[in-house]
Amino acid sequence: MRREVVFVTSEMYPFSKSGGLGDVLGAQPLALHRMGVPTSVITPFYGRLRTADYGIHLTISDCHVGYPWAPITCDVYEADYHGMKVYFVHRGEYFDRRYYYNDHKGDYFDNCERFIFFCRAVMALLRRLGTPPAVLHANDWQSGLVPAYLHFWRQTDPFWADTRSVMTIHNLAFQGRFASRLFTGCGLPPQAWTMSGVEFWGDFNLLKAGIAYADMVTTVSPSYAREILGPAYGCGLEGILLARQHALHGILNGADYGIWNPAQDKFLPCRYGPDDPQGFAGKQRCKTALLDELGLAPELAHRPVLGFIGRLRGQKGIDLLLDIVPRLMERNVGVIILGEGNLAHEARALDLMETYRGRLCAVVGYTEDLAHRIQAGSDIFLMPSRYEPCGLTQMYALHYGTPPVATAVGGLRDTIVPWPSPEATGFTFGRSDPQLFLEAILDAVHYWEHDTEGWRAMMTRAMRQDFSWERAGRSYVNLYRQLGFDFS
Q: Which residues are annotated as a binding site?
A: 17
- Report the DSSP pairing between strands 199-200 and 203-205: antiparallel
CA dist list (Å): 381 to 36, 377, 378: 36, 10, 7
Closest-CA residue to 346 (of 129, 148, 6, 104)? 104
Q: Determine how many CB atoms are found less than 10 A away from the CB of residue 173.
A: 13
Do 140 and 171 contact (CB within 8 A), yes or no? yes
Do 353 and 334 contact (CB within 8 A), yes or no? no
Q: In what order do the strands lie in the sheet with 334-339?
A: 360-364, 334-339, 305-309, 380-383, 404-407, 427-429
- Report the DSSP pairing between strands 102-103 and 106-107: antiparallel
Calpha distance 127→121 (Å, rounded): 10
Calpha distance 385→372 (Å, rounded): 20
Q: What is the CA radius of gyration of the chain?
A: 23
H or E element: which one contains 112? helix 111-129
Q: Cβ-count burial of 230 within 10 angstroms (0-12 exposed, 13-18 middle, 19+ buried)?
A: exposed
Ramachandran sector of residue 82 (left: φ over 0; alpha: ψ -120 to 50; beta: rest): left
Calpha distance 218→143 (Å, rounded): 14
Q: What is the DSSP letter of 331?
A: T
| Length of the chain (residues) | 488
434: cis peptide before it, omega within 30°?
no
Which residues are part of a known binding site for ADP-alpha-D-glucose?
17
Backbone angles phi, psi at 73, to 5 degrees: -130, 170
- Report the DSSP pairing between strands 84-90 and 73-81: antiparallel
The b-or-e profile of 80-98 (16+ CB within 10 A means b, else e) is: ebeebbbbbbbbeebbebe
Calpha distance 448→77 (Å, rounded): 51
- Report the DSSP pairing between strands 5-8 and 39-44: parallel
